[in-house]
Amino acid sequence: MIIRRQHRVLVQGITGQQGTFWTEKMQECGTNVVAGVNPRKPGTEHCKVPVYASAVDAARAAPFDVAVGFVPPNGAKAAALDAIAAGAKLLVMLTEHIPVHDVMEVMAVAGAAGTRVVGPNTAGLVTPGEGFVGIMPGFNNRVFKPGRIGVISRSGSLGTLMCLKLVNAGFGQSAFIGIGGDPIVGTTTRDALEELDRDKGTDGVVIVGEIGGVMEEAAADYAKAMKKPVTAFIAGRASPPGKKMGHAGAIVTGDQGSYASKRKALEKAGVAVGDTPAEAAELMRERIRYVLGIGRGPTS
Amino acid sequence: MNFEEHAAKRLIAGAIATPRGRLCATPDDAAAAVTAIGPAAVKAQVPAGKRGKSGGIKLVATPDEAAEAARKILGIEIAGHKVARVLVEGKVDIARELYAAVLNDAASKGPLVLFSTEGGMDIEEVAATRPAALVRHRVDIRAGLGPAEARAILGHFDLGASRDAIADALVALYRLYRELDAELIEINPLALTGDGKVVALDCKLTADDGALGRHPGLEAQGTPDRLTQLEQRGRELGLKFIELDGDVGVLANGAGLTMTTMDAVAHFGGRPANFLEIGGEAYRRAEPALRLVLDNPRVKSLVVNFCGAFARTDVMAEGVISAWLALRPTIPVFFSVHGTGEDEAVAMIRARLGIEPYDLMEDAVKAAVDAAKRLR
């Protein structure tokens, strides 16, 4: 789920306003976009790549590894199943408000086909210096710089802020993994943490979590045994219980999903939790200095 | 979206038997219902659990008792909900109380069936104290739940001759869960009657808000969220707005950043006045969003915190600036802008409002908190 220069990317819904805007941004960043999909415009060209009627059609002429969809909620399931049928190794689902039963169907089919799903309701994946897939400002070099810190975030906007704070603290990023703000997502905080733990280019990981669900708790369970330093910021400390805070997954019900529960689990696992995003970045600088025995965090 | 018991029962009635019942708004209605039905339970209709413990459920034998029970229940508050109606339901000859539920399970990313022989209890308590009495079964959504699999779920429980009837009820429940795009259907208790029938004595139903569009008429049967006037306006505008009791107005993009801005307000000793996210598809609606925040009379200062990813900060800033110039509010405003479109946004804020955005979000929030304190 770490995006690489050599990944061949298919954009579903490439001809729409958002599809066009973000495809151009991805291309500017070096992302290898090989084709697009629009059922009504096969045979045309858009953003300098060929457009096919479906992902399955595209796969025959322009093999791809990663599919990303700029599609509305009611078309998201069909687009995802098309990408899976076409053999996508990685499927990035950006769409918010997809009916959860549709999401579960996609997850079941993807699991059987061996397709890794990121999202839904994710802002995407960024690897500074290599490319990005989704709707992140991967092109903004004040926010994203090549480096050695991995970032996992349920939120696009807050993940962006955390990346900015890391740059301010003297770091760059090895990878940004946006996992999405829905209650059911294909790649969990823990899945992303395991991947970044394995990644040779990553020295430390910042988890950007939020209230709701138990993903941070599950990640804490894995973090216990990690050698790489992990710091975190959890959004929603000041949010009232029982209300959906924008993201469908960001709701505290009873004791479950609370800020206190997440912070406790993470701290017990040795994860340093900051009170603000800036503090989470500063905590990483303290720990990386300690681990590497050098004066400041490396930026590349 | 949640449904009160009577509405949930109407929705499941085709699949699982429910007691004969009547929805009543007055003691006289309740008395008439018992005249027609016989001995009954009078149950407060609120979208909350633990009604029995709150005095919201009473057993009655006569019309007079029913009127008296309704008089006592109508108007009380349960978990913040004022009881406006009671469901009068005919008494059921209960031989055994079971538990059954189907829900969306984040861990398995699919449907989960729960079944227990310890009905009528809080299921979390059963899970903690009698784990052997609770079975959790993951369903492959591609295949669905058939009778053979349902019987297997009931495998190690001693259910006698009722096993097949209960298995059929599970199958019906799962089908309903799928048909309604439910997040949760919970029947607690699921009663086994003296003559071997399976009856849903209670029903909790939550439907997926994201799927209401493909179920015409479903939303009208649910319990509307209780919204303040401003929240109602926000919903009509398609904005995610939650009114809080503080005095620092918050305008940010994205759920995570908005929550974080609220957290920062609290961290620096202030109290947020609202949650208002204009990320996602809403990012072009900065102007109505700003009006919403400013129409809250408690707001003493405003922090605008944008970190553009999908949302372009230049588009959002343009909307806020235009609205600000049109509304000419007297409260102070503090900006922090980063990400997609930030150069253009910062230049616009400087040129058109004569305000210097803060480089750090923390500084902008701190300034807004301090300003609200001075104006208190």
Q: Residue written as tokens 């339970």?
A: B41
Phi, psi values for residue A227, rounded to 5°: -90, -35
Q: Of A73, A105, A240, which is closest to B141 when you measure between CB atoms?
A: A105
Domain locations in chain B as residue ranges: 20-90, 94-221, 229-375
Tens of pLDDT, residue by residue over B55-89, are: 999 999 999 999 999 999 999 999 888 999 999 99
As for how many domains chain A has, the answer is 2
- Pairing between strand B204-207 and B2-3? antiparallel
Statement to judge: residues A147 and A286 lie in one domain: yes
Instruction: Let me know if residue A60 belongs to a domain.
Output: yes
CATH topology classification for B94-221: D-amino Acid Aminotransferase; Chain A, domain 1 (3.30.470)
Q: Above 80 in pLDDT, residue A81?
A: yes
- The ipTM estimated for the assembled molecules is 0.92
Domain harbouring A165, CATH code: 3.40.50.261
Q: What distance in Å separates residue B31's CA from the closest CA in chain A?
A: 36
**pLDDT for residue A263:** 97
B48 contact A CB<8A? no
Average pLDDT over chain A reads: 93
Tens of pLDDT, residue by residue over B98-117, are: 999 999 999 999 999 999 99
Q: What distance in Å separates residue B48's CA from the closest CA in chain A?
A: 12
Interatomic CA distance for residues B70 and B30, integer angstroms: 7
Q: Residue written as tokens 């991995």?
A: A150
Of residues A41 and B286, more confidently modeled: A41
Instruction: Let me know if residue A133 belongs to a domain.
Output: no
Chain A residue whose CA is closest to B338: A161
Interatomic CA distance for residues B73 and A296, integer angstroms: 66
Q: Hey, what are B211's tokens?
A: 């799927």
Q: Hey, what are B354's tokens?
A: 């004569």
Note whether A100 contacts B109, CB cutoff 8 Å: no
| CB neighbour list of residue A76: distance below 8 Å, 6 or more residues apart | A69, A93, A95, A98, A102, A106, A120
Tens of pLDDT, residue by residue over B3-32, are: 999 999 999 998 999 999 999 999 999 999
Cα B329 to Cα B84, B274, B298, B324, B347: the distances in Å are 41, 17, 13, 7, 21
Interatomic CA distance for residues B124 and B347, integer angstroms: 55
Note whether B210 contacts A208, CB cutoff 8 Å: no
Of residues A289 and B228, more confidently modeled: B228
Statement to judge: residues A96 and A23 lie in one domain: yes
Segment B290-304 mean pLDDT: 94
Q: What is the separation of C-alpha B365 from the centre of its chain, rounded to a whole number of angstroms?
A: 30
Helix (H, G, I), strand (E, B) or coil at A101: helix
Tens of pLDDT, residue by residue over B200-218, are: 999 999 999 999 999 999 9
Q: Hey, what are A196's tokens?
A: 């970044």
Mutate to test the interface with B, among A160, A190, A233 (most CBs of B within 10 A): A160
Statement to judge: residues A252 and A178 lie in one domain: yes
Which ranges in B112-203 belong to alpha helices (H)?
123-129, 147-153, 163-179
Partner residues linked to B276 by β-bridges:
B241
**pLDDT for residue B283:** 66
Q: Above 70 in pLDDT, residue B280?
A: no
Q: Above 60 in pLDDT, residue A296?
A: no
List the Cα angle A99/A103/A108 in 5-degree steps.
150
Tell the CATH superfamily of the B20-90 domain. Answer: ATP-grasp fold, A domain (3.30.1490.20)
Q: The whole model's pTM is what? A: 0.93
Segment A109-137 mean pLDDT: 97
Instruction: Let me know if residue A298 belongs to a domain.
Output: no
A44 contact B CB<8A? no
**pLDDT for residue B339:** 86
Domain harbouring A84, CATH code: 3.40.50.720
Q: For chain B, list the strands marked E by DSSP.
A: 2-3, 21-24, 40-44, 57-60, 77-78, 81-82, 86-90, 94-105, 110-116, 134-138, 182-193, 198-200, 204-207, 240-243, 248-252, 274-277, 301-308, 333-339
Segment A80-104 mean pLDDT: 97
A142 contact B CB<8A? yes
Q: What is the CATH number of domain B229-375?
A: 3.40.50.261
Statement to judge: residues A150 and A111 lie in one domain: no
- Pairing between strand B134-138 and B77-78? unpaired
Partner residues linked to A208 by β-bridges:
A153, A233
Query: How many contacts, defined by CB atoms under 8 Å, are there between A and B?
Result: 180
Where in the sequence is the domain holding A172, given as residue range(s)? 140-291
**pLDDT for residue A68:** 98
Note whether A107 contacts B262, CB cutoff 8 Å: no
**Percent share of chain B, pLDDT over 90:** 79
Note whether B109 contacts A184, CB cutoff 8 Å: yes
Statement to judge: residues A113 and A145 lie in one domain: no
Tens of pLDDT, residue by residue over B138-166, are: 999 999 999 999 999 998 899 989 999 99
Q: Hey, what are B372's tokens?
A: 């609200």
Instruction: Let me know if residue A127 belongs to a domain.
Output: no
What is the set of active-site residues of A?
A: 247
Q: Of B181, B260, B265, which is closest to A158 when you measure between CB atoms?
A: B260
